[in-house]
Amino acid sequence: MNVKAVEAAAEPIAVFRDWLKEARKQEINDPNAAALATASRDGAPSVRMVLVKGVDDRGFSFFTNAQSRKGIELAENPRAAMCFHWKTLRRQVRVEGSVTELPPSETDAYFHSRSRQSQLGAAVSKQSRVLGSPETLVAMVRDLEVRTPGEIQRPEWWKGYVLKPERVEFWIDGKDRLHDRILFERSGTVWIKHRLYP
């Protein structure tokens, strides 16, 4: 999809899905990876990479430990920003908006779609807290594996979130750094488009 197609689009989600489809063919690792920026109650920012597991009319979905730094910050300040960067395609997408929790049934379904080892790791990890040694974590995983031969129950603090976009910017690399930047801003139920200086 070239810049003219982006300019002609009525809303950004379909454009993003087309770009992601292209990225899945071109990017070697994790085309659904995005830098997720959150901020504390007093505005101190932090950023990390997450895997976006769903994109629909609600927005961009991801999953994490609600007791992690990002989970705590989202509870204090439920707004966030994402940036997808596809180096091979020379494109990026920036998303900003409010964040809400996904329904538990959806979070359960995704949690149980993961491998058993991933479920075990998620269930014992005290994400973002100090870990004395890697051996401690391995022992915790092994202990839970022995104690739980059947299905691993999703911990109540392992949650799904959806970022509802209010601003979505599509960036296309341009010659001599004259990049194309098309911004969609939500206004009620419609999207307003702007072309930005590079």
Return the active site residues.
177
Token duo for residue 65: 């430990």
Q: Give the distance, in angstroms, between the CA of residue 21 and the centroid of all CA atoms in the same chain.
A: 16
SS3 label, residue 17: helix
Annotate 157-192 with b (16+ C-beta within 10 A) or e (fewer). ebbbbbbbbbbbbbbbeeeeeebbbbbbbbeeeebe
Alpha carbon of 120 to those of 141, 147, 155, 173: distances in Å? 6, 11, 10, 41
Cβ contact 82:38 at 8 Å = no
> Judging by beta carbons within 10 Å of its beta carbon (0-12, 13-18, 19+), is residue 114 exposed, middle or buried?
middle
